[in-house]
Every structure is written in structure tokens, then in C-alpha cells.
A = this chain, B = another copy of it.
Amino acid sequence: MSAPPLDSSEHRSGALLDHLARRMRLRSESVLAPLGLRPRHLVALTVLRAGGGTGQQALATILEMDSTNIVGLLNDLEAKQLIERRRSPEDRRRHVVELTEYGAKRLNEAECALASAEDEVLAALDSAERETLYELLSRASTATAINCTEAICDTDDTC
């Protein structure tokens, strides 16, 4: 009876994701602070780099944050000239947000600065494994982004 009828081979990564993200975030904070950035700024920049040219509404959906709070976040980034808000020519209500060249550069710098943090947190993984991890995370992240931009993801609960 201790063997449940669900295939326990299906491991859930949620908690692990949470745990590692926290470990990384704690280290990132101190590394990023001198650059005047915070972890969530990095997340936004990363998303922007992956699929730039989004409106703020779409960005709110992707980041799953309230749009009113997106404003402040973007204000920070714009003040640092890391991003630009331009009005969309097609729909002038829309602010198209894009990473500036300078922003891309700073993002790269920041990522470099995070190398040692990542080394600590992902110490158990060799560089090939880290690349695999990156690839998987990256695919999951951008795919959901696209998925959510064009249509709200429908829940398929067959548990």
C-alpha cells in the first residue's frame, strides 16, 4: 500500500525550481546591487531580450505580474536607459518596449558578474549539464511566453 498507483517516476520540479531560484536570487542580489539592479530587473531584461518588441500588457502576461507594477519596473529600467518605450505606429495606445543596445550590453555584464553565483549554486553540474539546463529553462520560458501572448494557455489536468 505504500506504493501509490501513480507513476512516481513523474517527478515534480516545482519545489526544486523554487529552492534553486531562491539560492540564486540571494546571491544575485548582492552581486547586482552595485549595478543598481535587482533580480527581477534581470528577469525582465532577459525576457525582453528573448522576445523583444512587446507591449507592456503582453509583458505583464509573460511575467505574470500586475500591469500597474510593470510600470514602475519599466520606469526603473528606462531611467537607466536599459530599455526604450516607443509608441507603436499601428496602435498608438501601445508602448512597445525594447532592450536598448546599451541595455543588452549591461545585461551581458550583469550575467557575467553572476558567474560565480551560478558556480556556487550549480556546483554539482558540469558545464555541459549547465548548458542543457539552460537550454531546457530557456525553451520552457520562451515557449510559455509565446503561448501566452497569442492565447491564454489552457489547463490540461489529467492527474
A interface residues, Cβ below 8 angstroms from B: 4, 6, 8-26, 28, 39-40, 42-43, 45-47, 63-64, 108, 111-125, 127, 129-134, 136-144, 147, 153, 155-159
Q: How many whole Å from A156's CB to the nearest CB in chain B?
A: 6
Interface pair B116/A157, CB less than 8 Å apart: yes
| Chain B residues in 8 Å Cβ range of A116 | 155-159
Q: How many whole Å from A33's CB to the nearest CB in chain B?
A: 15
Interface pair A64/B26, CB less than 8 Å apart: yes
Main secondary structure of the interface of A (DSSP, over half): helix
Known: A115-B157, A119-B155. 8 other contacts (CB 8 A): A9-B131, A11-B131, A13-B118, A17-B21, A18-B42, A120-B155, A120-B156, A136-B136
Interface pair B40/A18, CB less than 8 Å apart: yes
| Chain B residues in 8 Å Cβ range of A138 | 11, 13, 16
Q: How many whole Å from A110's CB to the nearest CB in chain B?
A: 9
Q: How far apart are the CA atoms of A136 and B141 in the complex, in Å?
A: 17
Interface pair B26/A118, CB less than 8 Å apart: no
Interface pair B43/A115, CB less than 8 Å apart: no
| Chain B residues in 8 Å Cβ range of A123 | 140, 143-144, 147, 153
